[in-house]
Structure 1
Amino acid sequence: MKRPSVRQRLKSALGSWADSGDQEVRDLRESFAPSGLVSIEEAPERERVRLTGTLRTVTLRPRGGVPAIEADLWDGTGVITLVWLGRRRIVGIDPGRSVTVEGRIGVRETHRIMYNPRYELTA
């Protein structure tokens, strides 16, 4: 029996990795679709919206000498940056955590951003 080449094994491994990422996107979309929440991609700017997704990154990034926590929320359709001003840490706001947020979306340069959103930690 012929053993697969390194290139074939790598291609197979990358293919299964991509499939698992696609499955995660499908799972995220299915989790918020029935609840009537809007996807990040479809959320209108400057209107109050509720979004849900998974936090990808959480960093402490001071703004004008004031502490601020920044987190990227991903729902499978897009990413939005959440910023809590005046905070150094929020218990439960960690990478990989699922959250539902509520607030108004603005745009800074070309990035969508939501300042001081209300948040609810989800399972």
Structure 2
Amino acid sequence: MQPQRLSRRSGEAMATAEGYLRRLTRRLTEDPEQLDVDELSNEAANTGAQKAIDCQRGQEVTMIGTLRSVECNGKSCAGGVKAELFDGTDSVMLVWLGQRRIPGIESGRTLKVHGRVGKLDNGSKAIYNPHYEIQK
């Protein structure tokens, strides 16, 4: 009796299935936050957007990231709307002065923003009155 040989196609199918199972296992066992960070970082790289960690004060940038938080300072909203944008490398505060609320600007949304990087009083990076496009 001769040993049974696998056809080339069935061997490729097994390799594909093994690769799928390996990716699925990794996806199910990895830290979800790390997966989100990697996904955001890759999305920014694929669109040609700058990484927040590389941006310097005074630089005009285009960035893509997810809004982690959105806040308004009190009833009068004298400080405007502030939102924390995270792109997988670092956070940048987006500040819209004189606004009480901006439709579509909500936690969890993915935005593409364009503006000049500045600094807040606490030294963190900020973009004032950025142009934005809602991605998701």
Alignment of 1:83-98 (within 5 A): 83-98=95-110
Q: Cα RMSD over matched residues? A: 1.9
- Structure 1 residue aligned with 2:114: 102
Q: What residue identity is the alignment partner of 2:66? A: T
Gaps of 5+ in 1: 1-15
- TM-score normalised by structure 1 residue count: 0.79
User: Which residue of 48, 54, 65 corresponds with 2:66?
Assistant: 54
- CA change 1:120–1:19 in 2 (3 A) is same
Higher helix share: 2
Indicate the structure (1 or 2) with the bigger Cα radius of gyration.
2
User: Which residue of 23, 33, 49 corresponds with 1:37?
Assistant: 49
- CA change 1:97–1:65 in 2 (3 A) is closer
Q: Does 1:112 align with 2:125?
A: yes
**Which deviates more from structure 2 when the two are superposed, residues 43-52 or residues 65-74?**
65-74
Higher strand share: 1
- Provide, for residues 66-119 of structure 1, a one-character-per-residue CA deviation record: whole Å limited to 9, x for no partner: 350000000111011110011111110000000011111111232111110001
Q: Which runs of 4+ in 1 moved over 6 A?
A: none
